[in-house]
Amino acid sequence: MSLINESQVVLDLTGADRHAATRVLAERLVESGRCTDLDAFLADVRTREETMATGLPGGIGIPHARSAAITEPSLVFGRVSDGIDWGAKDGPATLVFLIAAPEAGGDAHMQMLPKLARALMKSEFKAALAGATTEAEVVEIVSAEVALDPAPADDSAATPAPAEPGKAADPAPASAEKKPLSIVAVTSCPTGIAHTYMAAEALERAAKDAGHTIAVETQGSAGSDPLDPELIAAADAVIFAHDLEVKDKGRFAGKPTVDVGVKKGISDAPGLVARAASMADEWAKDPSLAAKTTGPAAASGGLTTKVDSGMSTGVKIRQWLMTGVSYMIPFVAAGGIMIALSFMLAQIAIGEQGAIEIVKYGLGAEGEYDITQSFSVLSLTSWAALLFVIGGASFGFLVPILSAFIAFAIADRPGLVPGLVGGSIAFTMGAGFLGGIATGFLGGFLAKWVSSWKVHKGVRGVMPVVVIPLISTFLTAGLFITLLGRPIVALTEALSDALGSMGGTSAVILGAILGAMMGFDLGGPVNKVAYTFATTGLVAAGAVTDAPELKIMAAVMAAGMVAPLAMALATTLRPRLFSEPERENGKAAWLLGASFISEGAIPFAASDPVRVIASSVVGSSVAGGLAMLFGTTLRAPHGGIWVLPLIGNFLLFLVALAAGVLVTTAIVLALKSRDRKGVHDPLLSETAPAVA
């Protein structure tokens, strides 16, 4: 069955806005039997629109989504005489394609959707659609571009076919003044249905017009065919037009790279090609530019950092630290959860003293406590001991990994060795996460300094494998052992003693402060400071069952769950106080909040920052303070309700969480009720749920 038929063409499309127009188009799919649930499909389209507007330059709208309500890949075309605002900066859309794809895909037809996306970049295709007088004519125009059968070979001169994935497109004749270049590119968008392929088509046309060859790897919904490594090796420049992380980015290391969002690839492809050509020319004149490339893909084999080179020093410091924390967290999660499970099993197997007894087990411990000699498949105690030993081993890497990847974020791959060795020494000396942070920064800056040395070309080859790691590691470890280590150990012990002595009011205040920080910017810098304080504190907790750091982690997680859950509850209780997109976001916020993803409340804070943030700060502070007061503990750095069995005093944890959610909900509803100006447009309320 074809993607489009005459019943799926609306030559006089109208609508109060793009959502109303999309409903008209989607109703045609219901009539043709290709959509089984109109509201479900429209909700999926709306979710896609909220991710990124689907209006494109040139008067085009391409609402699209994958949906379980769609039975087969389909297109619906609408032509608007006066135009409808579809989010494009250059004006309203007059040509609209609704692209509907089944949730499970459908390989044959999904290969045709990219062809439509490419066709929309052709002026002759758009002109033909604008001038069509009948539905049958539109179907013929579209089918000619999106046919399942390949076009005859002799038609290739009339309409240049897009290059096969991973193969270079033929260039137009180059002028005598300009040398033709070889360019490779990658395009991708959040859903990979349209923008991915439209950007590819635009880049191919722009490169051809400029007299260059280009090969584009489309990392879209139809899968991706990786570029030939020989093409990449021979390329003069690289263009990334993407909204998703480029897969296997390290393939393009050492090449001049233009890196932009996918929409830029559609709207300014000639400009991107010109920038790539300019960079290629600049690099050709100065070969040292390739050697100076220090991007994460260039030297680290796919390892990535959270560092933006254009940021201020203060922001970079936070990003360096967050890079280390992000690589440390999987070790925290694996080790912490296994230790928690170990304690649970030990209490079942041994009794109340189980958590105390199980810590005696280890590799090479004396007598029956040597797990390598005494493990029994039928013994619950043995399984508890095994989990404890493995979890403890994972915890042993926390400080070295934190240190290594802080150094990596600063100096790229040369920073790994001094950071890892320095972190290991800091852990051995008992300097904790403060020692890891110190060796990470020290090792990173020293490695970067040594890397900058101007040396004889005969020495350059051994710099990365011998000279840089040798000198930077010696200096990092030596300085920490002889000068920095003891003061940091003393500071770590003082901090541990201070936290251990906290109780009553001081503990509640700390929990409230951390909770307020978690609720302030919902995943932003302040939130991350509180979260980093909690997760790095798990390093100091080790295998201690009631360490204060475990209470801090529980308080931070409870507080971080409050805002999204409160927004979900608020939209359920008083939906008319929220816009339709907010009500849709509220449904998703239930799961996000339950999973400890504070960012689930960001859409609400973005549209109404004062009232939402004020409510979130108060409620999150209540949750954090109560969690500390109740003495709840947690070893896992993430997970929300999914790690509930691992939370010490989990019933009281739920009480603290519920209190914070109710407080935030009550405040935000009270504040919004005072000013009804923020209520959604009545035109959008037709599909709103009824209010009891």
Distance between CA atoms of residues 546 and 584, nearest Å:
41
Q: Any residues with CB less than 8 A from the CB of 391 and at least 6 apart, and which?
A: 334, 335, 336, 337, 338, 339, 342, 543
| Catalytically annotated residue among 189, 212, 242, 638 | 189
Comparing CA positions, the residue from 202, 346, 211, 339 lying closest to residue 264 is: 202
**Which residue from 289, 253, 258, 262 is spatially nearest to 198, judged by alpha carbons?**
262
Distance from C-alpha of 72 to C-alpha of 610, rounded to nearest angstrom? 45
d(CA 381, CA 345): 7
| Side chain identity, residue 445 | F
Task: Quote the tokens at residue 541.
Answer: 């907790």
Q: What's the rounded Cα separation, in Å, for the pair 314 and 529?
A: 13
Residue 110's closest CA among 156, 64, 63?
A: 64
Q: Which residues of 610-633 are buried (b: 16+ CB within 10 A; e: fewer)?
A: ebbbbbbbbbbbbbbbbbbbbbbb
The alpha carbon of residue 388 and the mean position of all alpha carbons in its chain are separated, in whole angstroms, by 32
d(CA 426, CA 434): 9
CB atoms within 10 A of CB 261: 16
Helix (H, G, I), strand (E, B) or coil at 449: helix
Q: How many CB atoms lie within 10 A of CB 688?
A: 15
Going by C-alpha positions, the residue among 558, 519, 551, 526 that lies closest to residue 640 is 558
Task: State which H helix or E strand residue 620 sits in.
Answer: helix 609-630
Helices (DSSP H) in 221-361: which residue ranges? Answer: 229-234, 262-267, 269-285, 288-291, 296-299, 313-349, 354-358
The answer to whether 109 and 3 have CB atoms below 8 angstroms apart is yes
236 exposed, middle or buried (CB, 10 Å; 0-12, 13-18, 19+)? buried
User: Which residues contact residue 129 at a Cβ distance below 8 angstroms, ignoring those fewer than 6 apart?
Assistant: 77, 79, 95, 138, 141, 142
**Cα(11)–Cα(533) distance, integer angstroms:** 59
> Cβ contacts of residue 632 below 8 Å, gap of 6+?
551, 554, 555, 558, 647, 648, 649, 650, 652, 653, 656
Tokens 């002889």 belong to residue: 482
| Residue whose C-alpha is closest to residue 542's, from 396, 356, 431, 384 | 396
Task: Say how far apart CA 246 and CA 440 lie, in whole Å.
Answer: 27
Nearest to 57 by CA among 255, 315, 318, 265: 265
Q: Does 64 participate in catalysis according to the annotation?
A: yes
On whether the CB atoms of residues 163 and 29 are closer than 8 A, the answer is no
CA distance 524 to 563: 14
**Spatial separation of the C-alpha atoms in residues 55 and 86, rounded to whole Å:** 5
Given 19, 35, 64, 638, the catalytic residue: 64
At residue 31's C-alpha, the angle toward residues 25 and 35, to 5°, is 75
Q: How far apart are the first and last CA of the chain?
A: 45
Residue 164 belongs to what H/E stretch? none
Q: Which residues are the active-site residues? A: 64, 189
